Amino acid sequence: MATIPPLRLSRSQLAQFLKDQEQIRAFENLFSVVEPLADGSASSDFVEIGLAQASANEALSTIASVAQEAAVSCALAESKANQALALVGDLAATVEGLQMQPPIPPRKRQRFGMFWDTTTQTAAAINTAYAVTYNNSAPNQGAVLRSPSEVQVDTEGVYNFQFSVQLDKTSGGSANFWTWWRVNGVNVPASASQIQIQGNNHEIFGAANILLDLKAGDYVQLMWAVSDTAVQLQYFPASGPVPEIPSVILTVTSNIRSEP
């Protein structure tokens, strides 16, 4: 009687590695032939032993083939997974780059306004602060005249206030004219200017501007004072080819982007 070579693994040990249905069927086919031979219940005829070995070889070949296909499939799956991870990495880098870019500011209509006074303004006492008054305004687009001396804004932002004044002195000697800014009734530091006027009926034109960072609802005043009440903010009516000359002109613009 021929001796059957011993298996390296027991049936229960080998079965633990089988997950595929094709492998399991081949495994059962193998042991349906081998087990009767191993316990002596089957014929010991060489023909039957040869058939058993052939069946065993076929079953083992099938198991090896399925295992190889599974290994190839695992390799392909791993390759696809690596490609997916690379794409995810690229996407994460792109998203991070977009997050680092500053957001596009919303478009808002530009704030601006112009205010002027067509009357002569005279100080009632020397070295006393007065607020410049306006009796005309246009077009009131976000910067409006809240009172004859208060220009109010409706949106937070940095605003440019620019003014011009027509000064006149009605008596001899010299005198000083000062002007500065107030926000919500409080003097703006380092915002004053000074002009000296000398002589009777001497006229001077002055101008200046300032950038102010304002909140919605803040109001701005242009203040002035004189060392002699003979110094006036003078209005002149139209004459010949020249239109009227306001005593003061104030223009206001903001840095807010305008709508397209």
Q: Name which of 167, 240, 242, 244 is nearest 208 in CA terms.
A: 167
- CB-based contacts of 18: which residues, under 8 Å, 6+ apart? 24, 27, 63
Rounded CA gap, 121 and 167, in Å?
A: 10
Q: Pick the more confident residue, 133 or 27.
A: 133
Residue boundaries of the structural domains of the chain: 11-100, 112-254
Chain segment 83-106, per-residue pLDDT in tens: 767 776 776 676 576 566 666 655
pTM for the structure as a whole: 0.59
112-254 has which CATH code? 2.60.120.40
Chain segment 127-182, per-residue pLDDT in tens: 999 999 999 998 788 999 999 999 999 999 999 999 999 999 999 999 999 999 99
